[in-house]
A and B are shown apart, each in its own frame.
Chain A
C-alpha cells in the first residue's frame, strides 16, 4: 500500500493509501461522511484531487482497493483486464487521462476500443476530478448499443422503461398504467414491474400477462418482472416466458452476498435466460440495478467511497453483456445522497463511469420525500443526461410510484426530452408508434395522432 502526499503552498496533505486518496477526492456527499471516509474540509478534498491527478493509471493495477484474495469482484476486475486495450492510455496519470478523454483523440471508436482496458477504479478516479460538463461531454461521445427485441443506445435515441407498478399487483391496475404509458409513447426499453409480492405464483402470472400483452399488440419491446435472479431461474424452469433477467448488484462480494447473489448465481441466471432464445434481434438480456450507497448500507464497503463501490458494480454488470443497467440514483435516501445537488452529480458520474466501461447505462432519475430534492432537480438531471446521451430512463404515471413510494420521471418527462433534445425512441418502437397512430416525430417535434389506436379503443370498450 502506497502513501501519498501533496503539498500546496506551505501545507502538506498526507493520504494513507490509494483508497484514502480516492475517498477524500470524492465531491462531498452524505454517504461518505456517514462512512467516515470523506475529506475533513474542502481544502483537503481538492488537495486529494490534486494528489489523485498525479497518480499513474498503471498504479491502479498494482494496488487493489479491496484485496484480490478476499473479494471476487476484485478478482473479476483484475483477471479480465485487457492490457492491449489499456496500452493507449497506460502511460498517463489520472489527470492526463482526463485531458485525453476531453481531447479529439477520444472519439466513439477509440473509447469503445479502450473500454476493456479500463478498470472501475481508474474510471471512478478520473470522474472525481471532472466537472459536470466534463462528465456530460465525454459520456456524449460514447454509444453502447444492445439488442433484444429492440435496439437500444443508438445516437439520437432515448428509451424508456414503462414501470406500471401497483401496490397489490392488481392485473387490471397494472394494465391501466401500461396502456397509459403506451399511449404516451413510453415502453421501448421494457415494460418492467416491481412486484409487491414475491411469491413465485404471482411472479409467473405477471410474466405471462406481460408476454400476452406484448404478443397481442405486437409491441417491439421486452418484459421484465424485477424479482430475485433465483426466482427468475425458477420461473424459467417452470416454462414461463421470461425476456429479461433482473438482479440488483453491487461492487463488492460482501454487498452482493447481502443481496443473496454471487457471480456464479448471476451466470446461472444469464445462462437460463439465454436458453430461452427469446431475443429476435440480439441476446443482451440481463437487467441490473445499482445505486451509490448500497455497499455501505450492507456494511460491505471496506472503507471504499460509495462512488467507487458503485463503479465496481459496473464491472460485474459488463461481464454478463447486459441489455440495460440502471442506476437508481436517488432512491436510497438522504443519508447517502442528501440533496438535489448530490443526486444530480451522482447520476452524471454513474452514467459517465458506466459508459466509459462499456455498459449500457440508464438512470432512474429519482428522489424520496425525505431528500432535499424536488421536480426541478429531476428536470435538471433529466436534461443533462439527455444531452449526455443516456440509453434509457423510467416512465411512470405522473412521476408517482404508488408501490415503491418515491418519485421518478413520468411519461410526460420523456416527451419533454424528446421535444427539447429531438431524441427518438428505439427505431423498432418508433415504427410501432407510427403504425399504431400514437405519435410520429419529425425535426424533433412530437406529433400525436388524432384518434385512439383502434386496437386500444376496442380494449377500452371492454370496460363498458
Chain B
C-alpha cells in the first residue's frame, strides 16, 4: 500500500519519536524555518530567565512554616547575581554576617544534628521553587521513619554547592544535603540537584560528595531521589565516608545492565540487505 505523502520540506519527521533532540526541523533555503527558530529562542529565554529569577526564599519559608518546619535565611559572600556568576569562590562561602548568624544559632542549639538540609538557588531558582517542598515532604517522611534528626532548613541566596559543607560544619551536622538549582539546559530550566556530604567541613572537594542529578517532573522522581539519598545516608553512616568511595551501587548496576547488551541495533543497520 502506498504510504501517505510526506512533507517535502521535512521528509524524515517520523524520526522525531526516537530522540528529544531537535531533529527534522526542515529548512527554508538552507536556513532554519521561522517556527523552529522562534521555538529555540523561547527555550533559551526560559533558561535565561531561570538563571536570573530571584530566589523567593520568603515563599519557601512560608510554605515550610505551614508544614511546621522552621527555616533560617543566609547569604553567600557573592553580593549579587553578576558577582555570583563570575566569582564561584564567593558563592562557596557564607558572608561574614551569615556565618555569625549560624554560629549563634548553633550555640543556642548545641548537640548537633544528623542531617543539615540546605536549599540554595544555584543556577536555577525556578528548580528550587518548584521542587523543594514536594521533595522535602517525601524525604522527611522517610527520614522520620528512620529516626534521623534535622535542623531548621537553611535557605541560601547566591549559593554554590560547597557552601553546604561550611553550613554543615557550623551546625555540627553529621551529614549535609544541598538542594540546588542546576545549570538550566535548553529543554530543562528547572532541574534540581542534590549534593550529599558525610562529615562536612570547609575545603572538601567534589570527590567527597555524592550527586543525585536531574530531579524534575521529566527526570528523576521525588520518591526515587529521596530513596537514593536515604540509601547514601545509611551507607555513609555505616562506612563513615561519602564521595567517590561511596558509589550508589544500586544505580551503577542498573546503568551497567541497561547498556551494552542491545546497543548495535537501530533502523540504520537493521534493514534486510535486499
Q: Which residues of A contact B (CB under 8 A)?
A: 30, 33-34, 164-180, 183-184, 197, 199, 201-202, 204-206, 208-209, 212-213, 216-217, 333-335, 338, 368-370, 374-375, 396-400, 402, 405-407, 410, 412, 415-416, 418-419, 446, 448, 452, 456, 458-463
Contact = CB atoms under 8 A, between A and B. Distances in A.
5 smallest CB-CB distances across A and B, nearest first, come from A398-B22, A205-B263, A201-B260, A405-B185, A173-B19
Contacts of B267: 172, 175-176, 459-460, 462-463
Interface of B: 11-12, 14-16, 18-25, 27, 29-32, 36, 40-41, 43-44, 47-48, 50-51, 85-89, 123, 183-188, 255-256, 258-271
Given A34-B86, A448-B27, 13 more contacts: A30-B86, A173-B18, A175-B269, A184-B27, A197-B259, A212-B264, A335-B86, A370-B51, A374-B44, A396-B21, A405-B184, A405-B188, A459-B267
B256 A369 contact: no
B103 to A, nearest CB: 28
Given A335-B86, A459-B271, A209 B20 contact: no
Given A216-B268, A369-B185, A398-B36, A177 B44 contact: no
A177 B44 CA distance: 21
Contact of B25 (A34, A217, A398): A398
Contacts of B259: 169, 197, 199, 201-202, 205
Nearest to B31: A412
Contacts of B30: 412, 415-416, 418-419, 446, 448
Nearest to A164: B21
How would you classify the secondary structure of chain A's contact residues: helix, strand, loop or mixed?
helix
Please indicate which of the listed interface residues A30, A334, A452 has the most CB atoms of chain B within 10 Å of its own CB.
Answer: A334
A73 B26 CA distance: 47
Given A183-B12, A335-B88, A369-B183, A172 B20 contact: no
Contact of A206 (B36, B86, B263): B263
A397 B23 contact: yes
A399 B31 contact: no
A166 B32 contact: no
B7 to A, nearest CB: 12
A202 B262 CA distance: 9
A166 B187 CA distance: 13
Given A172-B18, A205-B259, A405 B183 contact: yes
26 contacts: A165-B21, A166-B21, A168-B258, A172-B19, A172-B267, A173-B21, A175-B267, A175-B268, A175-B269, A176-B21, A176-B23, A201-B259, A209-B266, A335-B85, A369-B44, A369-B48, A369-B123, A369-B186, A375-B40, A396-B21, A402-B21, A405-B185, A412-B31, A416-B30, A458-B271, A460-B267
Contacts of A204: 260
Contact of B264 (A167, A183, A209): A209
A419 B259 CA distance: 40
Given A209-B263, A459-B267, A370 B85 contact: yes
A402 B185 contact: yes
Contact of B269 (A202, A216, A398, A412): A216
Nearest to A338: B86
By CB atoms of chain A within 10 A, which of B23, B30, B184, B258 has the most?
Answer: B30
